[in-house]
Amino acid sequence: MKAVVYNKGAKPDRLVLSDIQKPVPGDDEVLIGIRAVSVNAADYRSMKMGMIPARKIFGADISGVVESAGKNVKRFNPGDEVAGDLSGCGFGGFADFAVATEKALVIKPAGLSFEAAAALPMASMTALQALRNRGNIREGQEVLVLGSSGGVGTMTIQLARHFDAVITAVCSTRNVEQSRLLGADRVIDYTKEHFTAGNRKYDLIVAVNGNYSLLKCRKALKPDGRYVLVGGALSQIFRAIVIGKPLSLGRKKMLFLAAKTDTNDLGYLLNLASDGIIKPVIEKYFSAETTAEAMNYAASGHARGKVVIRWSPGNLYYPR
């Protein structure tokens, strides 16, 4: 099969489209013919830190068609259209075929394209768990989204709207209109105004961008408010964990979310997307041959929503 394989010596990108052996699923695994895969921070940050998957193939968020299933697999059959997050299964999505356990996958709704399904898992589960699990979001609450233009940010706006919150989004000039169209009631262009101007207070701050001062964020919370960091570099996450603990001694809480794959959450979110309640924002599509370019673009930090690779070489015998 074809796969984009990490090769440390292949500079500058280190990602090479190669011919390799097709994986064989174990008794508890499913073999998926990949149709689409999206790029996440988990991919490019892991590669930057030298955390290379065992099979040397990145790609966590996938959609595709089940080709075969191990004898212990109960929920999936050949021909099933599925989507999932393979980060707990060793990645492997940048390939014609990948293997995964049942707990990583859900059935893809028929009304949802392969590309849309592949754009959802990590970003939408992170947004949902930040708002619901850590943020305890309630109808009518004031929610501030710091970094509203990427994959997680665009999902956070849409899900906060679904939960009937009042949303303020913070982004750059080029993304102001996008944030409004997604459902933000108010948009702050950070190149022109700091979110603390005007002394407005929020019930919940979701920080997709971890560059903001924790003290200023805490000051912007209402007395029982919550701050949830969901993204950022390792230094930002470390700072939030270390400094956030003493800042949470009162009623205000400064929290960090380590999102987890949850197939109940993913199924719920895919159904919301199938019903048109949320929609993944996909800025660019790439081919298997341009996967390295897709990774570089996503890592640049300027993507408006998601970057998706349409993957179909070698497994065209299932109808799309």
What digits encode the pLDDT tens for the residues 74-97?
999 999 999 999 999 999 999 999
For the domain covering 2-120+281-310, report its CATH number. Answer: 3.90.180.10
Q: What is the pLDDT of residue 134?
A: 96
Indicate the residue type of 138: R
Residues 6 or more apart whose CB falls under 8 angstroms from that of 264 comprise none
Buried b (16+ CB within 10 A) or exposed e, 16-55: ebeeeeebebeeebbbbbbbbbbbbbbbbebbeeeeebeb
Classify residue 172 by burial, with Cβ atoms within 10 Å: 0-12, 13-18, 19+. middle
Q: What is the pLDDT of residue 237?
A: 73
Q: Tens digits of per-residue pLDDT, 1-48?
A: 999 999 999 988 999 999 999 999 999 999 999 999 999 999 999 999
Q: Where are the domains of the chain?
A: 2-120+281-310, 122-256
Counting as low any pLDDT under 50, the low residues of the chain are: 313-320
- Whole-Å CA distances, 2 to 22, 84, 130, 170, 284: 8, 20, 36, 41, 22
Which structure tokens are listed for 183? 């459902």
Q: Which of 56, 61, 28, 25 is nearest to 42 (CA)?
A: 61
Class in CATH terms, 122-256: alpha beta
Q: What is the pLDDT of residue 232?
A: 66
Is the N-terminal amide bond of 12 cis, ω within 30° of 0?
Answer: yes
pTM above 0.85, yes or no: yes
Whether 2-120+281-310 shares its CATH topology with 122-256 is answered no
Q: Which of 94, 138, 142 is nearest to 291 (CA)?
A: 94
